Structure 1
Amino acid sequence: MQPELNFMIYRPSAMPPRGYSLIELLIAIAMIGILAAIVLPRVRVERSQVDAAARTIGMALLTARSEAVARGHNVLVVLDTGNLVVRTVWDMNNNRRVDASEKSRPFLIGERVKFGRGAGIPAFEGATAQVPNLLTTGGMPMLVVQRNGALDRAGTLYLTSGRGAAGVGDIDSRAVRLDRATGRPTVYVFAQSGWRRQ
């Protein structure tokens, strides 16, 4: 008697999937678009530009301070509020003026940044002026970083966004506190509870 042999024959019930249909791709793209529309407004370009502007002013001041100490002459930090440029000028003859022959370095500030405190924002420690009482050159305010690294005066510079200037974005306001003795800037952020150090 011979044993019975059972063979299983493999027959695919359907063809394996080859990819995605056009409708599936369109649905996935639509879902990504909806999620992006929800998330992207939370990313505030204005706020990041105001933060970058505060860091730029701080970097310009620290650069000017190290150059003044290393070279033994004053360095001017000119705030071109109209063109949104902070310019350091090597004041080699210490006359506190920008002369044509003196070397300068620009630091650019973002286009959405405004110099000022913003509508409805309280002053930082009583510093009410939008740009403090500074020396000017060519109608632009400036700070003098002296040969010992100190500033010619203390003060607070305010920065905000276009939204903050219109009274919409209170969290877009920054205060750059300038310490006269050390020449170092400190950045403060305004939140609903008040000013806090960044």
Structure 2
Amino acid sequence: MPVRSRSQPSWSHAADAEPLAEVAHRGFTLVELLIALTLMSILAAVAIPNMGIGRHQAEAAMQTLGSDLLAAQRMAITRQHDIIVEFDVDQRTIHIVDDANDDGTHQSDEHESSHSLGDGVAFGHGGASSDPIGSGPITFRQRTDGHPSVTFHRDGSASEAGGIYVQSARDLAAGSAEGARLLIVDRATGRASWFRYSGGAWRRGF
């Protein structure tokens, strides 16, 4: 009886190899690419705003604080009596007191307005070295209501020269010098000069 040779089915390896090759070379689908791009966008949205945010917060607080000091000085000139600016370090707030009787104290019947430094900002300079004006966070020696303060007189002058340090609360807590800012009030003119900490030194301007 003739013996028939057994032959392998023609599809056994070739049919299996083709799908594997297709899987290996098909790459990413459009849906997979879109998912990957979406995840990258989410990560970037979280990470990028945190880069330098403390510096911008401190700059904004310094500008607002400078405007408040200028307004207090102008009030003293316009109303022809003293205006006291108190710095509440713990509450991150300044109080502007209308010292109508020029007695250097805050009476209960004298008008007061309060302004916060803003979210995420505090008085201080973290790891930044102190300016010759003093170590801060507020260098004025005068005290009003238990807080360091400066008085603007009717001629626009200040009661003393002094400095106010501001920085983001996060950088301050970390002991970083990043984003530290300083306002220095001149006694004779009452004007405030702005400084930023850069390269290990205080430099005028933003």
Name the TM-score, length of structure 1 as normaliser. Answer: 0.78
Alignment of 1:94-109 (within 5 A): 94-109=102-117
Q: Which amino acid aligns with 1:62?
A: L
SS at 1:33 equivalent: helix
What's 2:65 paired with?
Answer: 57
Matched pairs, number: 176
Instruction: Please give the alpha-carbon distance, in whole angstroms, between the structure 1 residues aligned to 2:39 and 2:167.
Output: 35
Change (3 A) 1:38 1:60: closer
Residue 152 (str. 1) matches residue 159 (str. 2): yes
Residue 36 (str. 1) matches residue 45 (str. 2): yes
Instruction: Please give the alpha-carbon distance, in whole angstroms, between the structure 1 residues aligned to 2:98 and 2:129.
Output: 35
What's 2:87 paired with?
Answer: 79
Instruction: Please give the alpha-carbon distance, in whole angstroms, between the structure 2 residues aligned to 1:101 and 1:54.
Output: 30
Q: Which amino acid aligns with 1:137?
A: T
Instruction: Please give the alpha-carbon distance, in whole angstroms, between the structure 2 residues aligned to 1:118 and 1:31.
Output: 33
Instruction: Please give the alpha-carbon distance, in whole angstroms, between the structure 2 residues aligned to 1:115 and 1:167.
Output: 14
Instruction: Please give the alpha-carbon distance, in whole angstroms, between the structure 1 residues aligned to 2:105 and 2:145.
Output: 9
Residue 93 (str. 1) matches residue 101 (str. 2): yes
SS at 2:178 equivalent: helix
Change (3 A) 1:149 1:39: same
C-alpha deviation, 1:79, in angstroms: 0.7
Instruction: Please give the alpha-carbon distance, in whole angstroms, between the structure 2 residues aligned to 1:117 and 1:127.
Output: 11
SS at 1:187 equivalent: strand
CA RMSD in angstroms comes to 2.2
Instruction: Please give the alpha-carbon distance, in whole angstroms, between the structure 2 residues aligned to 1:88 and 1:61.
Output: 9
What's 1:132 paired with?
Answer: 139
Instruction: Please give the alpha-carbon distance, in whole angstroms, between the structure 2 residues aligned to 1:93 and 1:61.
Output: 20
Give CA-to-partner distance per residue, 1:102-158, whole Å, 9 cap, x none: 112212112422322323x22223533432142112211111000111100001122
Residue 143 (str. 1) matches residue 127 (str. 2): no
Runs of at least 4 residues off by over 4 Å: 21-25
Q: Which amino acid aligns with 1:77?
A: V
C-alpha deviation, 1:193, in angstroms: 4.3
What's 1:116 paired with?
Answer: 124
Judge conservation of contact 1:77–1:87 (CA < 8 Å) in 2.
yes
Which of the pair has more CA radius of gyration?
A: 2
Give the fraction of aligned pairs with identical amino acids, expressed as a percent.
27
What's 1:12 paired with?
Answer: none
Judge conservation of contact 2:133–2:163 (CA < 8 Å) in 1.
no
Give CA-to-partner distance per residue, 1:46-77, whole Å, 9 cap, x none: 22222222222211110011111011100010
Q: Which amino acid aligns with 2:123?
A: F
